[in-house]
Amino acid sequence: MRGLPMPSVPSPLPTSPHVRSLWPMLRALLGRWRSSLRLLRPAHVEANRAKIAVAQLGHQYANKVVALQDVDLNVRSGEFVCLLGPSGCGKSTLLYALAGQVKPTGGTVSIDGKPIHGPGPERLLMFQEAALFPWLTVRGNITFALAAKGVPRAQRKERADAFIRRVQLTGFEDTLPHQLSGGMKMRASLARALAMDPAVLLMDEPFGSLDAQTRIHMQELLQSIWMRTGKTVVFVTHDVHEALMLGTRVVLMAPRPGRVVRDLEVHLPMPRKPEDAGLNEMTRHVRELLRQVEGPAPREPVPRPPPAPHPAVPAHGLARPAR
Ligand SMILES: Nc1ncnc2c1ncn2[C@@H]1O[C@H](COP(=O)(O)OP(=O)(O)O)[C@@H](O)[C@H]1O
Ligand SMILES: [Mg+2]
């Protein structure tokens, strides 16, 4: 053996001068990709330790579209979970099943270990449309929610104004919804949701109709409120950057049939800033993951069924106040 020539050991650096000049850039890219992997780790939550436990959930609409298939998802109390995926992958159907607005055709949803059979006061659903009562002022919308919760009349105004301050709407207490901008309406809606004090906040693309700048402000506001209140939030979005900006966890979904394909914990410190380099790098990484799981576009055009039923009021069903 001793007389045999030694196999040549490949140099750690590429030899071509052209490739060598690219090497530092490649190494930096590889390092950033590795750190994205470290910051995004698979989530493992036991059902018996979960606030929300979804087991083998399936839903087929009357038109035979399988909106959800075999979805398992456990959410700890105080987590901020983003359901992320392209349009039609079943995000809203899953959220409505958590709210008790959609009765799934298979599987179970449990809150604190008890299966749910409809809406409940511990869960509140918020939509893109702020769904404020148009005949009530900002304060009126909130005092109405406080009344529904049984808060004595004498305390309602003061408490409503505290929630208005929390969403930075001070000065607009007596304004009617139609006099507010889209972002302000969403703030008022958020204040009303917080006044209801649900343990679980379910949000379906709430910032989808806002302009880019307002959307960033709302994300920062929601993040600071979540950090203070520690509510359990399930937030639907198709915007990867928004999911990673807000979520302690991102659940990636894919369509046809709607299913969960990845469940990842986001290990980036909070509060996050939209321009964080780590966040932007991670966004690229997750976009790539989504491209892989989505696969090629279908050849046949898929017929569009009618849109999901859209309740105009929160999950617990607020009625017009008695005069
Ligand atoms: N009310 C409904 N009736 C029939 N099909 C529906 C209804 N609502 C949604 N779907 C279909 O179910 C699938 C999942 O929809 P949805 O949950 O709204 O997805 P996403 O929120 O991810 O866009 C889609 O193919 C959609 O067209
Ligand atoms: Mg949707």
Per residue in 97-120, pLDDT (tens digit) is 999 999 999 999 999 999 999 999
Residues 206 and 291 in one domain: yes
Q: Is 254 part of any domain? A: yes
Among the candidates 197, 220, 245, a domain finishes at 197
C-alpha span between 2 and 6 (Å, rounded): 9
Least confident of 11-20, 168-177, 247-256: 11-20
Residue 171 · residue 135 · CB < 8 Å: no
pLDDT class for 303, splitting at 50, 70, 90?
Answer: low
Q: Is 216 part of any domain? A: no
Is the shortest distance between the CB of 301 and ligand 1 below 6 Å? no
Q: Is 156 part of any domain? A: yes
C-alpha span between 239 and 236 (Å, rounded): 9
Output the domain CATH number for residue 97: 3.40.50.300
pLDDT class for 69, splitting at 50, 70, 90?
Answer: very high
Give kind and range of the element (H or E) at residue 101: none
Residues 204 and 169 in one domain: no
Does the pLDDT of residue 1 top 50, yes or no? no
Residues 165 and 280 in one domain: no
Residue 244: phi, psi to the nearest 5? -80, -25
Residues 259 and 169 in one domain: no
pLDDT class for 288, splitting at 50, 70, 90?
Answer: very high
pLDDT of 32: 62
Is the shortest distance between the CB of 67 and ligand 1 below 6 Å? yes
Q: Which atom of ligand 1 is nearest to the CA of 253?
A: 22
Domain count, the chain: 2
Q: Is 144 part of any domain? A: yes
Is the shortest distance between the CB of 240 and ligand 1 below 6 Å? no
Percent share of the chain, pLDDT over 90: 73
Reported as a single tens digit per residue, the pLDDT across 24-51 is 777 766 666 666 667 899 999 999 999 9
Residues 204 and 98 in one domain: yes
pLDDT class for 268, splitting at 50, 70, 90?
Answer: very high
C-alpha span between 87 and 45 (Å, rounded): 26
Residues 117 and 203 in one domain: yes
Q: Is 27 part of any domain? A: no
Q: Structural domain of residue 192, as residue ranges? A: 129-197
Task: Give mean pLDDT, residues 201-207.
Answer: 95
Residues 266 and 204 in one domain: yes
pLDDT of 31: 65
pLDDT of 13: 56
Q: Which atom of ligand 1 is nearest to the CA of 256?
A: 25
Residues 114 and 245 in one domain: yes
Q: Which atom of ligand 1 is nearest to the CA of 93?
A: 17
Return the structure tokens found at 29.
């890219």
Does the pLDDT of residue 318 top 90, yes or no? no
Residues 117 and 147 in one domain: no
- Residues bordering ligand 2, an ion, CB closer than 5 Å: 92
Does the pLDDT of residue 154 top 90, yes or no? yes
pLDDT of 28: 67
Q: Is 5 part of any domain? A: no
Among the candidates 174, 197, 220, a domain finishes at 197
Is the shortest distance between the CB of 104 and ligand 1 below 6 Å? no
Helix ranges (H only) for 116-181 are 138-148, 153-166
Q: Is 3 part of any domain? A: no
Residues 97 and 170 in one domain: no
What type of residue sits at position 35?
Answer: S
Q: Is 11 part of any domain? A: no
Is the shortest distance between the CB of 88 and ligand 1 below 6 Å? yes
Q: Which atom of ligand 1 is nearest to the CA of 96?
A: 17
Residues 55 and 110 in one domain: yes
Ligand 1 pocket test target in 61, 87, 98 with most atoms within 8 Å of CB: 61
Residues 140 and 81 in one domain: no
Does the pLDDT of residue 4 top 90, yes or no? no
The dihedral formed by the CA atoms of 301, 251, 119 and 156, expressed in degrees to the nearest 10: -120
R_g of the chain computed on alpha carbons: 24
Is the shortest distance between the CB of 92 and ligand 1 below 6 Å? yes
pLDDT class for 246, splitting at 50, 70, 90?
Answer: very high
